[in-house]
Chain A
């Protein structure tokens, strides 16, 4: 126990670089969200929002509609989690281009992302189906129990390793290129950065969000898919 506390104190005193990057990204998102939320709250109904506000409002509206199509009635519970997670993953994937130590290059961060995704899936199932959610593991026949348990828990591992492997692989190839080319890397590496950091980062963000939403929509009760419009 004392060893654990000593380890924790050592990490707090001398944090690794990716941890600081992760905290900075979180602070950035929180600040942006706070300012935008404050502005939207004080905005008059008839006032014209400026360009940035229009983009933010339209984007969030579009994301809400996108989630409504998959999850149905409980979109208000799912949207904040998934939107925050997607912005965080996107920013930390892209942060490699600004010479930061990308947080998603480490399994600690990606495993926490996949744990959040697992939490979203299971809690939405409980909210939508109640106790019947836990009976779902006996679904077709009771002998299928071990297979169903595996298929519930393996996405934690596979999501974490997928995100980690893609970003770490891109970073490894970039390191090899820089070592191989020397000064010639000024010409060659910008398009590679665009591919590995922005392209793969965007694709992996889309993939983790879509997989979370699709796994969630499997847990939602059939009656909850229709949204009652008042």
Chain B
């Protein structure tokens, strides 16, 4: 396995793990953590689409539907916010 890595990426095993290496890896980790926004975006989009359908079917209930949609979206947003907090924590490294 090590021989394979050495043949594909020479010098990758002699990297000295100094502070720049650590902070670089932390930035990469922050970028990966922000990817939680993917699921959040899909969930909020589904909620908004269903709300549009509901308003189209029953326009007189639009106020109630809007409030329910906003609350549901804000709850769905929580996982994205977790990823964002992890990213902020990693940026301080």
Contact = CB atoms under 8 A, between A and B. Distances in A.
A169 B84 CA distance: 8
A164 to B, nearest CB: 8
A206 B71 contact: yes
Contacts of B67: 206, 210
Interface range, B side: 10 to 19
Contact of A161 (B70, B71, B75, B82): B82
A162 B81 contact: yes
B75 A165 contact: no
A204 interface: yes
A168 B87 CA distance: 12
Interface residues of A, number: 15
Contacts of A84: none
A161 B85 contact: yes
A54 B58 CA distance: 34
Nearest to B85: A165
Interface string B43-80: 00000000000000000000000010011001101100
A158 interface: yes
Given A165-B85, A168-B88, A158 B78 contact: yes
B70 A162 contact: no
Interface in B4-30: none
Contact of A207 (B74, B82, B85): B74
Contact of B84 (A158, A165, A203, A210): A165
Determine the main DSSP class of A at the interface with B.
Answer: helix
A166 interface: yes
Interface in A154-186: 158, 161-162, 164-166, 168-169, 172
Nearest to A169: B84
A45 to B, nearest CB: 34
Contacts of A168: 88
Contacts of B88: 168, 172
A166 B78 CA distance: 9
A211 B78 CA distance: 13
B84 A207 contact: no
Contacts of A207: 70-71, 74-75
Contact of B74 (A161, A164, A169, A203): A203
B70 A206 contact: yes
28 contacts: A158-B78, A161-B81, A161-B82, A161-B85, A162-B74, A162-B77, A162-B81, A164-B85, A165-B81, A165-B82, A165-B84, A165-B85, A166-B81, A168-B88, A169-B81, A172-B88, A203-B70, A203-B74, A204-B74, A206-B67, A206-B70, A206-B71, A207-B70, A207-B71, A207-B74, A207-B75, A210-B71, A211-B71
Interface of A: 158, 161-162, 164-166, 168-169, 172, 203-204, 206-207, 210-211
Given A207-B70, A207-B71, A210-B67, 11 more contacts: A161-B78, A161-B85, A162-B77, A165-B82, A166-B81, A168-B88, A169-B84, A206-B70, A206-B71, A210-B71, A211-B75
